[in-house]
């Protein structure tokens, strides 16, 4: 099964003028939500690595589970939540190429 590297540090968040902005502890907060809500052991283990800033290899089904977790459990305001979900959706598209 094909996999793709995921790292929450790669998520690009832009302000209204299109400038990149940093959200303090963004990847930590996202990883903690995944850790608390992971429905499988592989996702739980991925959350531990993502928390450390380590990239993880995930397949399409695992990424889809993560997308569903973030859609059901908002941990950021939409200006950050939407780019996170789009980042993950783009990773699925990479797998389909």
Estimate to the nearest angstrom the gap between the alpha carbon of 80 and the chain centroid. Answer: 11
Q: Domain range for residue 34?
A: 4-96
Give phi and psi for 14, each to the nearest 5.
-115, 150
Supply 28's token pair.
Answer: 């930590």
Domain count, the chain: 1
Give yes or no for residue 74 having a pLDDT over 90.
Answer: no
User: Can you give the pLDDT at residue 75?
Assistant: 87
Whether the Cβ atoms of residue 43 and residue 34 lie closer than 8 Å to each other: yes
User: Each residue of 19-39: pLDDT tens digit?
Assistant: 999 999 999 999 999 999 999
User: Each residue of 37-69: pLDDT tens digit?
Assistant: 999 999 999 999 999 999 999 999 999 999 999
Q: What is the pTM of this model?
A: 0.93
């Amino acid at each position: 099964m094909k996999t793709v590297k995921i790292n929450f540090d790669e998520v690009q968040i832009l302000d209204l003028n299109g400038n990149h902005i940093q959200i303090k502890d963004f990847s930590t907060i996202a990883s903690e939500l995944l850790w608390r809500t992971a429905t499988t052991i592989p996702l739980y283990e991925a959350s531990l690595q993502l928390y450390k800033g380590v990239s993880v290899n995930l397949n399409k089904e695992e990424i889809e589970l993560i997308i569903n977790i973030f859609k059901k459990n908002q941990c950021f305001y939409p200006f950050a939540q939407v780019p996170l979900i789009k980042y993950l959706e783009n990773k699925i598209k990479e797998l389909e190429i």
